């Protein structure tokens, strides 16, 4: 196949520009610029950046960092460690299995973006750059040579590092413990941020740093480590999650944690339908509503018509999951013979029917069961083995409040849902789901009963959502129809649940958990997004589909499908050679 003159010209121009940039500065000089900029940026954080404490975080103190200055320190330290790793220093050489140039560039961008975000925020909040003091100007200037040195650094010319032999089991478990502790610290820091500017800077630092270590190949090694130590890693993750409420000084953050777990659990149930089976369900939040309303009706609320038939929580949970499962079968039986867009339209219709029905069961338009728009309030707290989750308890000197109690309960429910998802996904029925997702016609030709298999996925996903709904009803004290719509102002709703699955990574366990955490926490911390949530997440989905269509945490099968061309590229050589090969393939 011939190459067009225009494509050949673009290829020559791009290759020449990359060669000029990479060859403009010798590697030792570029690394020296990066190291000097990082050290100077760290030092600047110990000076005041503004003269007034009106900017959140009090950046007027000299002697130690505060507020957003800590983010500059963190990104500059990571950049400095990456520079030292380029010299193969003991213990640091493994930071970049694929080479050091690309992660250095991303970390330099992290330091630059974080620092200048702070300086611009100070200028906007206090009306002008004149409000910056010496420390702020030093920080802003220090990251510039670091960024220039990273961009001018020649590409890596050595082969990518071969996979290392597994370390002794005790060392790997120690690393897993450290990684889990770091994850707990990062999550706790993010949820503890007390003002919007700090959370925005935190997101910037996390995003650029994660991109750096993703490009470096470090995440792949960590994933392999966690896979080898899977039982220990799961135990460590559970312990870290259980420790989270003990790190909080107020009940609000524990409340955020409970709602994240509820949102994540429901998203994980949706992942069975969408991620494993490939069915586009746009009314899934209705099953959460079925579970919540069922629990509200049988848990002893004085506003329930069945308040005299109060049942213990374990029974209410089983009833809620069972009723949701029945609704899943009733809705799925007549609709799952449809495919694609037609199925999506029908599921939207089911969600709207549920929302309208619970509004009309108010005693006027229909029987008085759900109290219509007023919902069912005054749902009593759960009592488990005589322990009332609605009251605070003491654990030594630590006070465990109401939402911390519900966090522990929801953590157990999440573990149950994860176990069901994992066992089902790895079973015979799970392989049948994946076969239907890939090609339903081919799966049926191989003897798989497509309708029955899809109905099983639909019913199981509905039951898991109903189980989470039974806890949600008690956490919020009341159940009203407003949240159970396709798209609303607050999660969970069907649009946000689907976005959590797609953003996090379809077909994985940790993907929906991460996606749900981000989609709940970001609007919670950034109040200005309250009226623009769908716009913001629409933009996020577009960017993700462009740059990482398999999701943040990728299923290995789907990752290979989306990056077949990249898998064929050579694993060694310069970045210029890789660009040349891409351009040659594009123009061929």
- Tens digit of each residue's pLDDT (9 = 90 or more) over 520-539: 888 888 776 666 767 777 78
Determine the Cα–Cα distance for residues 238 and 332; give it in Å rounded to an integer: 34
Return the bridge partners of 103, or none.
Answer: none
Determine the Cα–Cα distance for residues 584 and 588; give it in Å rounded to an integer: 6
Report which DSSP code applies to 526.
Answer: -
Question: What token pair was written down for 109?
Answer: 């961008």
Residue range 134-172, pLDDT digits in tens? 999 999 999 999 999 999 887 765 555 555 667 788 888
Find the mean pLDDT for residues 313-330. Answer: 91
Domain 248-528's class? Answer: mainly alpha
Collapsing DSSP to helix, strand or coil, 497 comes out as: helix
The yes-or-no answer to whether 18-160+196-216 and 248-528 have a common fold is no
SS3 content of the chain, % helix, strand, coil (to 5): 70, 5, 30
Q: Return mean pLDDT, the chain.
A: 83
Residue 113, C-beta contacts closer than 8 angstroms, at least 6 positions apart: 204, 205, 208
Residue 492, C-beta contacts closer than 8 angstroms, at least 6 positions apart: 262, 263, 266, 267, 285, 288, 483
Determine the Cα–Cα distance for residues 188 and 306; give it in Å rounded to an integer: 41
Q: With beta carbons less than 8 A apart as the criterion, state whether 321 and 463 touch.
A: yes
Residue range 400-420, pLDDT digits in tens? 888 889 999 999 999 999 999
| 199-208, 300-309, 578-587: range with lowest mean pLDDT | 578-587
Reply yes or no on whether the pLDDT at 122 is more than 70: yes
The residue extents of the domains of the chain are 18-160+196-216, 248-528
* Per-residue confidence band for 584, with pLDDT thresholds at 50, 70 and 90: very low
Q: Note the pLDDT of residue 6.
A: 57
Collapsing DSSP to helix, strand or coil, 224 comes out as: helix
Reply yes or no on whether the pLDDT at 568 is more than 70: no
% pLDDT > 90, the chain: 30
Q: Note the pLDDT of residue 139.
A: 94
The dotted CATH code for 18-160+196-216 is: 1.20.1440
Determine the Cα–Cα distance for residues 126 and 28; give it in Å rounded to an integer: 40
Alpha helix segments (H runs only) across 426-493? 428-438, 440-445, 450-476
Return the bridge partners of 384, or none.
Answer: 387
Helix (H) or strand (E) holding 252: helix 251-271
Q: How many angstroms from the chain centroid is the CA of residue 574?
A: 33
Determine the Cα–Cα distance for residues 76 and 104; give it in Å rounded to an integer: 11
Report which DSSP code applies to 272.
Answer: I
Count CB atoms within 10 A of the CB of residue 578.
16
Q: Note the pLDDT of residue 575.
A: 41
Q: What are phi and psi of 436, to 5 degrees?
A: -65, -40
Report which DSSP code applies to 273.
Answer: I
Using only the alpha carbons of the chain, give its radius of gyration. 27
Q: With beta carbons less than 8 A apart as the criterion, state whether 153 and 31 touch.
A: yes
**Could you tell me the end-to-end alpha-carbon distance of the chain, in angstroms, rounded to an integer?**
6
Find the mean pLDDT for residues 352-373. Answer: 86
Q: With beta carbons less than 8 A apart as the criterion, state whether 509 and 268 touch.
A: yes
| 278-292, 301-315, 423-437: range with lowest mean pLDDT | 301-315
Residue 510, C-beta contacts closer than 8 angstroms, at least 6 positions apart: 504, 553
Distances (CA, A) of 108 to 116, 314, 578: 12, 52, 22
Reply yes or no on whether the pLDDT at 574 is more than 70: no
């Amino acid at each position: 196949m011939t190459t067009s003159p225009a494509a050949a010209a673009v290829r020559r121009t791009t290759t020449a520009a990359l060669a000029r940039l990479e060859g403009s500065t010798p590697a030792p000089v570029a690394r020296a610029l990066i190291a000097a900029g990082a050290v100077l940026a760290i030092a600047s954080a110990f000076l005041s950046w503004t003269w007034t404490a009106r900017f959140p975080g009090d950046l007027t103190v000299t002697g130690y960092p505060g507020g957003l200055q800590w983010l500059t320190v963190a990104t500059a330290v990571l950049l400095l460690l990456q520079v030292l790793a380029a010299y193969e220093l003991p213990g640091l050489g493994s930071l970049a299995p694929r080479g050091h140039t690309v992660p250095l560039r991303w970390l330099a961008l992290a330091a630059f973006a974080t620092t200048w975000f702070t300086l611009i925020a100070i200028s906007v909040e206090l009306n002008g750059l004149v409000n910056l003091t010496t420390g702020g100007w030093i920080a802003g200037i220090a990251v510039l040579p670091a960024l220039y040195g990273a961009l001018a650094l020649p590409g890596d010319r050595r082969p990518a590092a071969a996979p290392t032999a597994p370390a002794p089991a005790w060392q790997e478990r120690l690393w897993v413990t450290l990684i889990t502790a770091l994850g707990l610290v990062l999550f706790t820091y993010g949820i503890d941020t007390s003002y919007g500017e700090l959370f925005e800077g935190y997101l910037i630092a996390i995003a650029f740093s994660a991109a750096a270590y993703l490009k470096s190949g470090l995440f792949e090694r960590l994933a392999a480590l966690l896979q080898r130590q899977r039982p220990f890693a799961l135990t460590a993750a559970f312990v870290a999650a259980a420790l989270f409420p003990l790190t909080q000084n107020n009940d609000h953050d524990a409340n955020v944690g409970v709602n994240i777990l509820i949102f994540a659990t429901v998203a994980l149930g949706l992942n069975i339908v969408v991620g494993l089976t490939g069915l586009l369900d746009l009314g899934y939040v209705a099953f959460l509503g079925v579970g919540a309303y069922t629990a509200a009706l049988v848990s002893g609320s004085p506003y329930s018509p069945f308040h005299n038939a109060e049942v213990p929580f374990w029974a209410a949970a089983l009833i809620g999951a069972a009723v949701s499962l029945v609704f899943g079968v009733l809705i799925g039986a007549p609709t799952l013979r449809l495919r694609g867009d037609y199925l999506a339209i029908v599921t939207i219709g089911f969600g709207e029917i549920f929302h309208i029905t619970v509004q009309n069961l108010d005693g006027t338009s229909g029987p008085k069961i759900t109290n219509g728009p007023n919902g069912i309030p005054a749902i009593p707290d759960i009592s488990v083995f005589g322990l009332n989750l609605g009251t605070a308890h003491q654990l030594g000197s630590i006070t465990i409040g109401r939402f911390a109690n519900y966090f522990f309960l929801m953590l157990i429910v999440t573990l149950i849902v994860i176990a069901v998802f994992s066992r089902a996904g790895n079973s015979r029925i799970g392989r049948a789901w994946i076969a239907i997702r890939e090609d339903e016609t081919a799966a049926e030709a191989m003897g798989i009963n497509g309708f029955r298999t899809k109905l099983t996925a639909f019913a199981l996903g509905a039951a898991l959502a109903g189980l989470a709904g039974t806890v949600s009803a008690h956490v919020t004290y009341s159940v009203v129809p407003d949240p159970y719509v396709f798209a609303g102002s607050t999660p969970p709703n069907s649009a946000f649940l689907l976005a959590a699955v797609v953003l996090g990574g379809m077909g994985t366990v940790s993907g929906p958990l991460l996606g749900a955490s981000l989609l709940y926490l970001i609007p919670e911390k950034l109040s200005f997004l309250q009226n623009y949530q769908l716009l913001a997440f629409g933009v996020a989905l577009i960017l993700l589909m462009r740059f990482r269509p398999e999701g943040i945490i990728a299923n290995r099968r789907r990752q290979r499908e989306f990056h077949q061309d990249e898998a064929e590229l050579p694993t060694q050589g310069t970045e210029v050679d890789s660009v040349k090969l891409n351009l040659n393939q594009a123009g061929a």
